[in-house]
Structure formats: structure tokens, C-alpha cells
Amino acid sequence: MSLEKIRAMKGYQAITALTAYDCNIAKLLDEAGVDIIIVGDSLGNVVLGCETTREVTMQDMVRHTGAVRRGAVTSFIVADLPFQADASPEQALENSHLLIDAGADAVKIEGKPEIAKVIAANRIPVMGHVGLLPQTAEEFKVQGKDRVAAEKIVQEAKALEKAGCFAIVLEAIPASLASTITSLINIPTIGIGAGPYCDGQVLVINDVLGMYEGHTPKFAKRYAALNEDIRAAVKNYIKEVKTGQFPGDQHSYR
């Protein structure tokens, strides 16, 4: 999957995106045919056990981006610039290079079109992000519900397109607003809690697989219940070890 192919999919074919944080999951998503894998700073919540994404560091992002790259062969990989990694244009550019060197094809930034412009000008593909911005949000709720707030998000999306972003994530906004933005800009929109009228969709893989038991937003859909399967498998293992059923002859060397 290339940048050109992603751009060409706007209005033609829905773009599929999921998050991943390790080599094995990335390999499975890649083999399944996911277009974009996002190494999200959501790893703070669903992998590292942090309260917010603000606790995720550049070291975390570089390590997990490298792991995902080793697992994914064809999917396009986007890595988040974590909180404060884009505090200045110089810092954002330096950290973007670190993520690209670790294996990302592009970086993602929350808001900040002026920072996105600097990164894009240095030939690093940038994905924008408007609506709910987890790194700076004080309340996690739907954004853009009134006319003034909606117009602000529209202008932010236009500014990110002008800055050189190749796509924009629309998070937690009304479906009608997402539809408006999608029709107004010439780059793909990727929705997460933004309804069906975006050019593509993204979800957190742990929500999709049923591997996270913290707060699950309304827009997340569970396609499996792996936590239950894991508990059952581990309980079965414990039982077999306690009763001497494992290891058996077939698991022992002679």
C-alpha cells in the first residue's frame, strides 16, 4: 500500500485502518489485508496500562513502531507523534524522522497545521487529526455539535489539508459534520466515531478483538471476545499442570 494508492481511494473505495502495537498483531492485520496500520499512542491505555495517552513517550512510540514494521509487509504504517513530541517545529521534525527511521511510512499529528506544514515540507507524509484530540482533551465527548464548534472543525480540516496532510482522522464528531468535511476537502477522511460518510474507518484493535476491559466508546464494535478465550485457555493450562495432565509424552523429549 502506497501513499498514492491511499489518496486515489477517496470516493472510490473505502479505506480500512486499525491500530497495532506489536509484531504478531501487525502481521495478522497485514495478512488480512488492512490498508493502514496506525501505531497509536492509544497503546498507553490498552497496552501500557496508563491513565491517558499523555504518558506515552517517544521511546515507547519508536519501540512499538519498529515492532509493527517487522510484522507488516504491505500495509501502510502511520505512527502517532505522542504528547509534547511536536511542541515546536524543530522537535516535531526530529521526532518524525525517528519514527520514519523506526519503520513508519508516515506520522500522525493532532491538530497543529503549522507543525504539520513543516513536517510535510520536509517530505515526511503527515496524517492530520481533528475533532476529539485525546492528547489535549479535558472531556472525552462528541465535538462539533453546535454551529460554531462545527465550523471551527471544518476550518481545522481545511488548514491541515492546506498544510500538506495526505489524510485526516475525524474523531467523535456528528456524522453530518463528517460528511460535510469529506465533501469539502480533496484528501481522504478516516473516521473513528464519525459515522459512515468518511472515506475510511479506523478502530483500536483491542476493542475489535475484545481484549480491553476499560471504558469502551459507543463507536467501538467488538468482533471477537479474546479476553474470554484467553482466560479459558489459561485456566485449562493451570488445571492440567496441577493434575499432572501436562506435559504428556507428546510434549517431552526422549
CATH number assigned to the domain covering 3-223: 3.20.20.60
Checking if the pLDDT of 185 tops 90, the result is yes
pLDDT tens, position by position, 111-170: 999 999 999 999 999 999 999 999 998 888 999 999 999 999 999 999 999 999 999 999
The alpha carbon of residue 173 and the mean position of all alpha carbons in its chain are separated, in whole angstroms, by 17
pTM (predicted TM-score) = 0.95
CA separation, residue 223 to residues 16, 30, 226 (Å): 15, 17, 9
Q: How far apart are the C-alpha atoms of 126 and 116, rounded to whole Å?
A: 7
In this structure, the number of other CB atoms found within 10 A of the CB of residue 213 comes to 9
The residues carrying an active-site annotation are: 171
* 76 close to 3: Cβ distance less than 8 angstroms: yes
Give me the sign of the Cα torsion angle 230, 236, 241, 245. negative
Q: Which of 164, 231, 229, 219 is nearest to 195 (CA)?
A: 219
Q: Which residues belong to CATH 3.20.20.60 in the chain?
A: 3-223
Q: How far apart are the C-alpha atoms of 83 and 57, rounded to whole Å?
A: 8
